Amino acid sequence: MLVPRSESVQRWSITMPRIHANARTTPRIRREIQQAPASISHRELARRYGIHRHTVAKWRKRATVEDKSTRPHRLQTTLTEAQELVIVEVRKLLLLPLDDLLVLARTFLNPNLSRSALDRCLRRHGVSNLRILQKERESLEGSPKSTTRQFKAYAPGFIHIDVKYLPQMPDEEQRRYLFVAIDRATRWVYLAIHEEKSAESATRFLANVLANAPFVVRTVLTDNGKEFTDRFSSAGERQPTGHHPFDQLCREKRITHRLIQPRHPQTNGMVERFNGRIAEILRAERFVSAADLQETLTRYLWAYNHRIPQRVLGHMTPIEKLRWWQTERPDLFVSRVDNVTGLDTYVKRETTELVLVGWGKASVLTSASGTFIGTVGYSAPEQQEGKPEPASDLFALGATMVYLLTGYEPETYFRWGLREYRLYAEDIPHLHPLMVDLINCLTHPDPRERYPNAAEVKRRLQEIATITPTTPPVSSSAS
């Protein structure tokens, strides 16, 4: 039928009734059936229009000539209710685009999830429009989009540092402070919790950043807090004296220390936005102890650096972007990106000795929340669920062998197979088939499929040593 589109504009548009693609009747026929006298039987109308009498009965009962929706009342989806809840919360928390969210969901929740299924999930829960979510976030945080500016492009080495208060945990006597550093070019993040918001803590944090960053830090941007500068004193604002411990460390390491303009925290907005994500986690989670909070933040840090692609990075993760930069500009780096560990599994000493900490069952922290201390890639699935057993140590042994053979973190060789996400030793270049079988057996997701004990592993290694010649590692970890 014809309806006016506007009172001021004399234009007309046609709105068509909703008709199924396989419909045997037109809207006109349906209306004639509805208007037919009751004295005319269903069978007679069916013969007249060449349709079944059940179709006639259906349209005589209807008040409209439109087809009903054929959408099922209960949609068949590959996502469980719990998985959908996780996806919705991640969408609201991280504001990830659809493709970035798809990568994350396939990695952690469902490897068979399709893009269209994810889009339908977001629409069902009312979080499909990213612009609306962004405006809601900006209204809550009081930072309108019009006041934000893009950061100038830099190579790795320009670090933003900020401090955030942490809520006091039940087993703490006072609240602690979260120090966060983020690289402007790659969005790589390093964080640490300190007892005090002091110059000593800030200086120690910077030293840890320099020890963990795989690139040369050239510039550090901070606010004007007393932990970072002596720019402000009882007499008011002044030029920094250079005697502050933080400035002294910067000068020693030939780092330019920049300060934001007073009362303009948006200048350090990159790290402020990351702290906003941390704030969302703190609001959404209930922590039973300081160790529980520490573990949650550390695992989120690992996921952020290794698993969450970002549109600003060309849909790469921070670690992937670091690898790209290292290929393009190796002169900017002091160590190989793949040697960056998630939870400080390895401790480097002044000598060439390598010390392994947090090994197997000894790394488990028993608690009601099921929290554990370990590194993703080295910890067995049952250990991550808070149910370690002796075979968990064998899993860690297999993962450590991968690192010693390749110089790469074992997580590099994890991927989804037919049924589970696991380490595939056959993806390691030039690795002997016997070693492939050994490592795959050690790192099998099911502890019952691993070797029965360490003695059996030792015996198998001795057999392989007599069969295969000694060869150097696949790649050296030296830079």
Instruction: Report the CATH number that the domain containing residue 283 is assigned in CATH.
Output: 3.30.420.10
Beta bridge pairs of residue 182: 160, 189
Q: Are residues 109 and 179 in the same domain?
A: no
Q: Are residues 85 and 63 in the same domain?
A: no
Question: Residues 338-361, buried b or exposed e (16+ Cβ, 10 A)?
Answer: bbbbbbebeeeeeeeeeeeebebb
Of all residues in the chain, the percent with pLDDT exceeding 70 is 75
Q: Are residues 299 and 380 in the same domain?
A: no
Beta strand spans in 339-394 (E)? 346-348, 354-356
- Tell me if 254 is assigned to some domain: yes
Closest C-alpha to 93, from 226, 285, 249: 285
Q: How far apart are CA 356 and CA 58, in angstroms?
A: 75
> Which of 140, 168, 187 finishes a domain?
140
Q: How far apart are CA 310 and CA 95, in angstroms?
A: 10
Q: Which bin fits 127, alpha (ψ -120 to 50), beta or left (φ > 0)?
A: alpha
Q: Please say if the pLDDT value at position 137 is more than 80.
A: no
Q: How far apart are CA 415 and CA 217, in angstroms?
A: 32
Question: Residues 366-401, buried b or exposed e (16+ Cβ, 10 A)?
Answer: eeeeebbbbbbbbbbbbbeeeebeebbbbbbbbbbb
Q: How far apart are CA 77 and CA 84, in angstroms?
A: 10
**CA 407 to each of CA 307, 352, 397, 428: distance values in angstroms, whole numbers, following the listed order:** 20, 15, 15, 11
The total of structural domains in the chain comes to 4
CB 180 within 8 Å of CB 159: no
Q: Are residues 63 and 206 in the same domain?
A: no
- For residues 328 and 82, which has the higher predicted lDDT (pLDDT)? 328
Task: State the average pLDDT over residues 72-84.
Answer: 70
Q: Are residues 214 and 256 in the same domain?
A: yes
Strand 232-233 and strand 177-183: the pairing is unpaired
- Tell me if 5 is assigned to some domain: no
pLDDT tens digit sequence for 40-58: 999 999 999 899 999 999 9
- Tell me if 218 is assigned to some domain: yes
pLDDT of residue 268: 54
The parent domain of residue 254 ranges over 158-319
> Which of 95, 111, 140 finishes a domain?
140
- For residues 393 and 11, which has the higher predicted lDDT (pLDDT)? 393
pLDDT tens digit sequence for 375-389: 667 888 887 666 788
pLDDT tens digit sequence for 204-225: 999 999 988 999 999 999 988 8
pLDDT of residue 392: 87
Q: How far apart are CA 160 and CA 222, in angstroms?
A: 6
